[in-house]
Chains A and B, each alone.
Chain A
């Protein structure tokens, strides 16, 4: 019986360490497709957006056979550390806590974080001014960490995806929502539902609060040093040949 256990355990471990990349010769990259214009699913079911295009360009430049797939936000980072995915691209902000569990490529973009609220709300964006107000954020994001620390007197409601907070804003269940400025503009303000809302408060970046991190990067498993080197080489190429600038112009406009 003991021997059977050893064999079973041994085969389990063997399967575990056999990474998905080695198995298929393909790099599996997960993204949380609820975050336009960075990553979303279009009406034909295809993944589209800034991060998806960037990843495909990097893979082409680095001659990697990549497959970008949609995954739930909740399972992404555990999926990377357990070897289900080889890399993640999902506007992941680089923070010290995240560096402990995964490795990051070079930074490819530095996002701006903003609040969005009703036009006539006249909110006082300060710890006391937001006392009792309801702030909606996506769980486990830099925005979540920032508002939790900065606005202890506010009620913070946390959601699994990037789109539910907008439903809550429209419904009046939340007073404010904090997210990436480009995402707020693209997925809410430019739409019919968002016409009564506006960006409020200061434009925040990693320089304003440590929670916002150093910028966004592609995450890989700590053990995948080869893959990381290839991705960085690919990133360097698309930075040099102007592809990244073209992407920034296409999706983020003048910033």
Chain B
């Protein structure tokens, strides 16, 4: 065993963990707000809006994240039109491409989770809001979204954990997050067990924190929904 290699590279792992956190948090925060809007649209009366969002979630849930990442990072760069556009300074950056891909991907799943909860709200809650004469915006802000979010917590918590683990794919487009660091050590020191066990431990700690946050949120905001046996 060559744990001394890991000890020498702890700083490298810390940098990787910082990038993993950045990728996870930025993707999740943007996707969270995007998905709330998309979930309302997904249940809209307008068939065009409803079906357009359904098509988007179908495409992004129907293809592997790695394929999406390669298409956006390597694929788009093949088109001269993209390379000569004003967006190129951003699209040439692996970080931006990765974040775009992650946001689009996790938003597709989160939208479906939120939209599903929205469809299962007790009709009485929505009728009551209408009866009080609340405007559509206030209705969404005060009634629909809070009720939707509390009912989504468990499933959404799962999606955030999946997103955290999916950030490991960023290493395929040169970003040195935790998995990228492990792979780099493997390629330079020819050991596999030690770097990947270290990476696994880092993901486990991050997942634990995320799960605790959701348990807290569950107790704080969704306690009233808890079934009492």
Contacts and interface: CB of A to CB of B under 8 A. Distances in A.
Contacts of A82: 192
**Prevailing SS type, chain A contact patch:** helix
B183 interface: yes
Interface residues of A, number: 22
A15 interface: no
A160 B172 contact: yes
Interface in A159-178: 159-160, 164, 167, 170-173
B5 to A, nearest CB: 12
Contact of A159 (B174, B191, B192): B174
A82 to B, nearest CB: 8
Contact of A139 (B74, B77, B184, B190): B184
B190 A74 contact: no
Nearest to B183: A74
Q: Which of A77, A82, A171 has the most CB of B within 10 A?
A: A171
A160 B190 contact: no
Interface in B55-93: 74, 77-78, 83, 92
| Interface size range of chain B in the complex | 10 to 19
B187 A173 contact: no
B189 to A, nearest CB: 9
Interface in A65-98: 73-75, 77-78, 81-82, 98
Contact of A78 (B77, B83, B172, B190): B190
B172 A77 contact: no
Given A158-B174, A173-B92, A74 B186 contact: yes
Contacts of A170: 77-78
A140 interface: yes
A101 interface: yes
10 contacts: A78-B191, A78-B192, A102-B190, A139-B183, A139-B184, A159-B174, A160-B183, A164-B74, A167-B77, A171-B83
